[in-house]
Structure 1
Amino acid sequence: MSHLPPSQAIFSPSVARAAASTAKDWSYIDTWLRSIFANSSNSSSNRASRPPPFERNPETLKALLALATANEAADEHREQLARVEEAALEEVRSVEREREERRRRIDARKQKQQEGREEAEEAEEALDGDILATDLLSALESSLSKDGAAALDAMASMAVELGVAYPTPEILGSKFAELQGRAFELEDGIERVDLLRRYLDRESARAETFLAELQHASIFTLPPTLPKQNLSLQRLVKSTSSHLPDLTHQVHSLEKTIGLPSLTVDDVRADEEAYLDLLSRKKDLDAQVRAFAGLPPDIDAARAELEALRSELRHATERRDEDFERLVERESPVKSRRRPRLD
């Protein structure tokens, strides 16, 4: 409850829970800082193990919690690395002990077996080969850096997880690529399922809305004048149906006396063809009339204007012919006349 004044009482359960959670977090931070500064014995370090009052705010608490979490994760990582190194050192020591035991056994066999030196030499060479291989592996492991050893351990653990007997970087890379592809496929499938779920939620919401509207409509009461209107309509239908036979009889009598024209499909087709012919003739006449558009309505004035246009057309035609003749005379080559010879 450090974020509240000391004299202020808490009446809200949510505020009380938040205050209790904040007090618990500050208690955890104080304990963590006390454990960090436990190596210092002076009073200044003890005072520095707790934040000052003006720094006890939510932002500082959030930063210290993140720092404590990162510190604990780093400590766990260092502990795991130390345990791995200790196990590797113990394994190397056991291998060294086995190698020393083998050497002692070889020495004992050399002292006891003076006869059959060839067999002893062959056994010694075999054992020396095993010792050489063990020494070579030990030398390789000891010459590796921490990063190299971590990479080798990661490669070995990956091979064990993937079930690869003879791992190589190429095989592990291909397996890792396959796993990554499967992960992408699963993510795609999850997105599709999420999309389908959202669609189903939307449709279910629409169905619930429609059901609510139906329930509201079922509760709706009919107007009070509806029964009277229904009775009046039924009476009108009955009266009309009673007059229907008389009307039918009148129609039949009119058909017998006057007679209705008999119309067939061929007559309708002939009328349609005649209508289409008239329509085409109308289009032709419209085109012809459109050619005389712009002429005055008076017949004499129209004829005078037509004669004027014709005279203009004749003058233009004559001018065109003259221009063409001049053009031909200008473009045609001049032929020199041959003088007759005087014998």
Structure 2
Amino acid sequence: MDNLTPSDLFSPSKARQQRAQAQDWAHIDSWLSYKYSGRTVPTFERNEETLKVLRELSMANERADEERNVLERVEREALKELDEVEKTEDDERILSQLKSSLTQEGEEALHAIASTAVILNTPSVDPETLAHALIQHTTTSQNLTNQLAHIQTLQTYLTKQISLLRTQLNELQTNSAFSTPPLLQRQTTEQTRQTKHLRTKIREYEDKLSSLQSSQNRSMTPGSRNIGSAEAIGEMLEQQKVLDELRERVVGLEAQVKEFAGLPADREMARKEVGKLEIRLDEVRRRRDELFEGLVG
């Protein structure tokens, strides 16, 4: 009932559900207190899944208790009927004659067989029946021993895991590194405000971008619409290559023109000047040859 919210007060179905859960928890608490017999009940998380599991466990436990009580009552009634069976004089006489006719070893064997039949709860004292019952009990005992060892190992592992989890839980609860920062709420509020502001800016910029794209599409010519296509880019690369070749040819021609620097602009006068320079070149060559011959002589 403590989990009722103000909205649940106006919802009859939720109120009934809460009352039913409260009654179930009261039954579970009473059952656990009875099972622990005055010891402290371990703390656990109270949610719907835990309540469901505990409810099923309590119902299974109650069914087992009822079955055990019925079995005990049947056994008591059977023992009572056996005690009420009247022993006749013939039975006493036959039993007395049987005991008197047996040797000490036979009496011990008869007692051993009867004790074995009673302990094994077999309706017959046939040796083969007793042997089968003994083998079955031995197999059951061995299986129960193996299961008990497995359960003990599992219990040891679970105990270690519970201890480790409790240590980690204590570390999480006591270590300041895992505690909530005092300014977390303020930071969350500030980040939420910034997020809303950025979303507004994003929508504003998206609207501006859409407007620019629309105006650009209206201002573009049919030829410029395909400027970013693969064919246009390939054509531009070819033109760039041709332009680079022309630039190299221009550089070569400029180098050749520089060799004729200083000549007159008129072609005839330039030819005369070139003729004079050739005559002078011949004289310089002859002079060079004469100097070379003089050096050799």
Query: Shared fold (TM-score greater than 0.5)?
Result: no
Structure having greater relative contact order (Cα 8 Å, sep ≥ 6): 1
Q: Give the structure-1-normalised TM-score.
A: 0.27
Using the size of structure 2 for normalisation, the TM-score is: 0.31
